[in-house]
Amino acid sequence: MSRNAKINSLLLLLVAALAVLPLALGLGDDEEEPFTGADAQAETAITELEPDYEPWFTPLYEPPSGEIESALFSLQAAIGAGVLAYYFGLRRGRRQGEQRALRDAEPEAGRTPAEGA
């Protein structure tokens, strides 16, 4: 593995560790419901601060179940990941193409007239 690839894998590993540590250390254990969304907690805090507050608008569309919601979230991530992969794939392909073109061009320039004939 090249030095570059090593550093890149290390970065990914660190991100994974940061995500797994709170779970592994059981940091959600003293919560009633571990690892809920911060936005749901904020809604609870609002109703504590102002018990009379009623949300005055409801979402136009709400995913009917947790499964559908997670499907749509994965769709969002998949679209993003797809575009990113397309970008880097295209760049890599272009670079390789350029290198190949350079390589192909060089021997011709260096060729003796006898070979060319």
Secondary structure (3-state) at 29: coil
Nearest CB to other proteins, comparing residues 58 and 112: 58
Say if CB 69 and CB 63 are below 8 A apart.
yes
Nearest CB to other proteins, comparing residues 31 and 106: 31
CA–CA distances in Å: residue 72 to residues 30, 43, 61: 30, 22, 12
CB of 103 to other proteins, least distance (A): 19
Q: What angle do CA 29, 35, 41 make, to 5 degrees?
A: 110
Restricted to residues 18-77, the positions that interact with other proteins (CB under 8 A) are 18-19, 21-23, 27-31, 34-39, 41-43, 45-46, 49-50, 53, 55-63, 69, 72-74, 76-77
The token duo for 4 is 């570059």
Cβ neighbors of 53 (< 8 A, separation 6 or more) are 46, 47
Residues binding other proteins (CB under 8 A):
4, 7-8, 11-12, 14-15, 18-19, 21-23, 27-31, 34-39, 41-43, 45-46, 49-50, 53, 55-63, 69, 72-74, 76-77, 79-84, 87-88, 90-92, 95
